[in-house]
Structure 1
Amino acid sequence: MGWLGPILERRHVEGEPPMVKPGAIAKAMSALKEAQLKDLIAKAIRAKVPAADILGECRAGLGEVGERFNSGEYFISELMYAGEIMKDIMAQLTPLLKKGPKPKARAEAKHIVMGTVRGDIHDIGKDIVVLMLRGAGYEVTDLGVDVKPEQFVAAVKKTGAFMVGMSVFLTTCCKALQDTAEALKAAGLRERVKIMIGGAAASDMVAQRTGCDSYGATAVDAVALANAAAGK
């Protein structure tokens, strides 16, 4: 019955009608029914469902959005919309998450540094990836556009990130991928940091030639690559 099952069963025994059906939040999220989703979340909060559990259900729905994108049912516009919905949900739940019970500490593989490489100012694809990664549960430091190699290095040192994601739209900026990989190596960080790339100028071959680890064609691919690197 999922995370809500035991709670709903308990409420039924106590004579209180269940307010949210198991899986309803995930279903509303995957269908991109924003108004219904907000109503269900409000009801779950009133029923004192832990914010972490509500968020888990939202992430499950977001995962389904990714599957629908892969199958061709959803397009980039739906991915962007799902990311915006998830951003609003995170803003609503974050204060409750801080008040609630703290989850057990996980491995270091939680933080990702993202940015569009030096000389490139395209950000739409990167922004979608950032939203999807955050929706999948990762902490993401978004450095923006035209990010220099030393900025990536500084961010990794500051956050302890396990992965760097670089977006490149212009083929003339591909050298910045290699420069960043080499800067991470020179700083003694390369062995513990995975590098994924994406964008119009990126490919598996470009990743190999520039010393990066992997290439993701879509935001869904980026989440899958992060999950693989994090051992999820």
Structure 2
Amino acid sequence: MDDYLTGEALRAALARLNWTRERLAVAAGLGEATVYRMLAQNGAIQARRSSIDKVATALAAEGALDRPKAPGELDPLITVALPAELIRRMPGRFTSLTRLWAQSMETQDLEDLVRRLGGATDRMSSVNVGDDGGLRIGLLGHGLRWASNNMVGRPLMELADQDVAVSASERYWRSIIANEPNLAYCRRGDLEFTVLSVPVRHAGRQAVVSWSELGRPDLWR
């Protein structure tokens, strides 16, 4: 199956089996509340990896899902840091990232920046430095396959996919420490995207806004 178990796939599997969440909880050896939270999510489910595996394994045993991949079987996530100035050499290629770059030169206030960009979008996210000094998730677009709405306000490193958490954390800290935009190309399997992260401030705290677009920057002539 895919690298993730999604809420949509989980609900569809239950419908095919005509199972209740109570029956799934028993089959997976989990509490009903845990299963309920997983079923209520859209996109990639955010829960303990062990809980996701138990649910997926129980459904796979009934033929409703493919066997879940073990963590070591996931395709590696490759992250390549690029000079942020490349964004200016690709006019018309990554229009969202170009807009983010341009507006970040005008303001470093998170709310003002998002307003200038027309509001939060499906592939936009933000983090801020929390009281504990770690990064916490702020904005979270629905088009980001690695997260779900229940992660808003949570520590970034609590993401179920640790490869994604580490890659994002490194990009965000680079922007915060250098106080400048950074551009990166990320790839896992056949999924590839380019992401621009810019430093901002929110409620007096350091923060970062990121916007990603599918595809790879290519300046080959």
TM-score calculated relative to the size of structure 2: 0.29
Higher relative contact order (CA 8 A, sep 6+): 2
Calculate the TM-score normalised by the size of structure 1: 0.28
Higher-helix-fraction structure? 1
